[in-house]
Amino acid sequence: MEERGSPDGDPARSLEQGPQGQETPIQVVLRVRPMSTAELRRGEQSALHCSGTQTLQVSPPGGGPDVAFRFGAVLDGARTQEDVFRACGVRRLGELALRGFSCTVFTFGQTGSGKTYTLTGPPPQGEGAPVPPSLAGIMQRTFAWLLDRAQHLGAPVTLRASYLEIYNEQVRDLLSVGSPRPLAVRWNKTRGFYVEQLRVVEIGGLEALMELLQMGLSRRRSSSHTLNQASSRSHALLTLYISRPRPQPQQMPPLDPGEPPASGKLCFVDLAGSEKVAATGSRGELMLEANNINRSLLALGHCISLLLDPQRKHNHIPFRDSKLTKLLADSLGGHGVTLMVACVSPSARCLPETLSTLRYASRAQRVTTRPQAPKSPVAKQPPRLENEMLQLQEENCRLRFQLDQMDPKAPGLHGARGAWAQRNLYGMLREFMLENERLRKEMSQLQSSRDLAWGEQQVLAQQVQELKGRLLSACSIWPGPAAAPLCPYLTPAAPCHEPRHRGADRSASRDADWEGGGPLGSPTACGAPKHPTCAERWSRGCKPGPEAGGPQTPDQQLPATWPEPATTQ
């Protein structure tokens, strides 16, 4: 007996190990529907037999070799909807979505194998007629559990939902106000693939969510053919966006109001069933729909086959080949957690399609993803801060290495390490803040002193200019009929002479004062603080030299007062 697949264990138990950053395989659960009334009436035999909880045995009716497939869980036709919900581990997916992860549940299989029944239960019997609770599918049970779980959390939880279908390679909004119209699928670096202008509705409670689901199911395309009386003719995706407010530590700055809150995503995908046109008897529009369905499923299988390649990082995954693969790109090879429910028919008449589905599911459970929760906006730093952070981390590692290389037996080293370990980081930060504040005050005082000294310097400079002006005005007055000469002490004349009885020492001191400045007659000679002004020299008895019109001999005395200048007529 040939065995296919690999035992991955319970999906819920595998996910409890913590998917953050680790490669997690796609979890696959197989469900075998019971024989239908029409199949029993035709006398068809079952070709599938469940051997335990994880193995399915396929026995061809022609007597060929048996083939066994192993999955995370195998559910036969006797299992109820509640058993399927518990075995699939959808509750664990809901917990991960509340923690911010992106989770996906999708069903796959041949048309008429029970995919829509597994997800949403039987079709509604009338307008607004609810599905019986015992027949509710995975989606209704997940909604009820999720809302009940959100009520027991400490922080409020906001639920929003979108519902779309892919019909003939056109994306249509099942929650649009008017008639559904085609929408474009875009891509950007932050969001990946997304549907533009898709309506997202905020959910107030379980009843509103059930009404939204029923409205989408009623607007979804479906028709009847030989193998299925209510065959879905489109792929449907219902997405729940779960938002929780982020915690605000006291040490962290407040978040940007434009930044979205921490949110997870839980997506339910009901794939249209693959079908053979000859077996279903489809013609016209049904044939066109079947061709588009098979084409998108073929593109999905091709992407899964490439994802199994060990060198897939160097290969191009053609997610852009169809709208379905674009919207499932993150679930298959991205950062999400994915659960696949493969549905098969036990009838021997459908054995070729059943084997195709089993091989498809066996390959899918070997595809791995790297689940990652969205990063906090506080952690999104500019490149400059990221580089600085890396440098500080490298320096920290280098210092730790140097500290480890030191001799642990050195005296005082253990005490230093202990003291360093016991220091409070908050206390260190407080000390640095106080020191910074003290330095800031000191710098402010120095700036004030500098400004005051600058002001005093300006006042003194103004006073010097005023004194220079007054001195020039006083020296311009001279007695006699001729024009008034300049001040004798502003002309390059010989040094003035003082009386001899004053002594040689005072004369030498006076000459040294005169020789210390610039040439006589310049503003520096009379304006510099080292040299006395003209008035001071006259008061000391100093006389101008002969070149300036003064006495010819140093013994001649100066007049007590200056005569009034003659008035020029």
110 is in an annotated binding site: yes
Phi, psi dihedral angles at 490 (to 5 degrees): -105, 5
Cβ-based neighbours of 87, under 8 Å, separated by 6 or more = 29, 73, 75, 79
Spell out, as residue ranges, where the chain has pLDDT lower than 50. 6-17, 248-261, 377-379, 412-413, 480-486, 488-531, 534-535, 538, 542-569
What is the tens place of the pLDDT at every residue in 35-57? 988 888 988 889 999 988 899 99
Output Rg (C-alpha) for the chain, integer angstroms. 48
Topology of the domain comprising 11-119+140-247+259-376: Kinesin (3.40.850)
Q: CA-CA distance, 496 to 489, in Å (whole number)?
A: 8
- Residue 81's pLDDT is 94
- Is the distance from CB of 97 to CB of 89 less than 8 angstroms? no
Tokens of 185: 């699928």
What pTM was estimated for this model as a whole? 0.62
Q: CA-CA distance, 245 to 346, in Å (whole number)?
A: 47
What is the tens place of the pLDDT at every residue in 161-188? 999 999 999 999 999 988 878 899 999 8
Q: Indicate the burial class of 18 (C-beta count within 10 angstroms; 0-12, 13-18, 19 or more).
A: exposed
Strands (E), 325-426: 337-344, 368-369
116 is in an annotated binding site: yes
- Residue 558's pLDDT is 44
115 is in an annotated binding site: yes
113 is in an annotated binding site: yes
296 is in an annotated binding site: no
- Residue 560's pLDDT is 46
- Residue 536's pLDDT is 53
In the chain, where are the structural domains located? Answer: 11-119+140-247+259-376, 381-456, 477-556
- Residue 287's pLDDT is 85
- Residue 247's pLDDT is 54
- Residue 7's pLDDT is 42
112 is in an annotated binding site: yes
